[in-house]
Structure 1
């Protein structure tokens, strides 16, 4: 079995009902746009929710561009799933092929944009308060700067993890899962 599948091949499998499509992006991304037949299981939850997937049916994984899909494919093969393919180019290739996408009624800023807005607000607030109230407010700006340096050097973003747990980032009662990397 080939490891990659094209959008046209996937469309055919969906039409014939011969595959189970899994979207491994985060709930906010899925709500923004998704392939109607896709079931959402974020990459960070894949191992603990693998029992929800059929082992006797072909699985097709998709993400935004293919990188997370490849990681999911490797995880599922380690868990004993033999028939796993990754949508080549992810949902971006699906859309480029002119195939339809659906979206949820609920619109939320992408997680990275939420992180940027929060950090920008914190830095601006710290600077304004340090000029008008007390010079020690500059440490608020320093706190957000240190957080950016930590996220940039380690790939771990505590603010993204915190924001992913917020109620507005929940879709159908699920949280965004582990936002390990700010640039996910």
Structure 2
């Protein structure tokens, strides 16, 4: 399966055209509320997977999938293509690339994005296990396991905590 991406400039031009694509933002509702492309629909990845067959009945046009950086959009694309939807694209670099290119976003209540939440949880577990190891030395292995998991996540460019 070939992934088809669209860059921010091209998407901006397509959104201003007579037949704009439908933009589906697959981030969490909190992330979407913080910043999203005007006119985008928020369909979180887990809901898209769960209701995929119903959703594709309403997607007969070109669809562009957006997430923070592209990883969740890629998963959404795989799901939609498996269900038979062919005219699907991924915003290259996600909402981060869109904003970096200087394109406007609608902003609401600022919330922490998923990646920041994951870093907070992982860091808190490591800090707590190191402090706890002063009383129970075996707790240092929890910090080691988290460190190993973060290393694998960085090397494979995935994040199991963020995908759960």
TM-score (norm 2): 0.70
CA contact (8 A) 1:59 1:85 kept: yes
Deviations 1:7-41 (A, max 9, x none): 23322433456322112234454344322322223
Paired residues, what number?
153
Structure 1 unaligned runs (5+)? 131-136, 161-177
SS at match of 1:22: strand
Q: Does 1:179 align with 2:147?
A: no
Larger Rg: 1
SS at match of 1:56: coil
Residue matched to 2:132: 126
Residue matched to 2:89: 85
Residue matched to 1:56: 60
CA contact (8 A) 2:130 2:139 kept: no
TM-score (norm 1): 0.64
Residue matched to 1:4: 5
Q: CA RMSD in A?
A: 3.1
Q: Does 1:108 align with 2:130?
A: no
Dislocated runs of 4+, deviation >6 Å: none
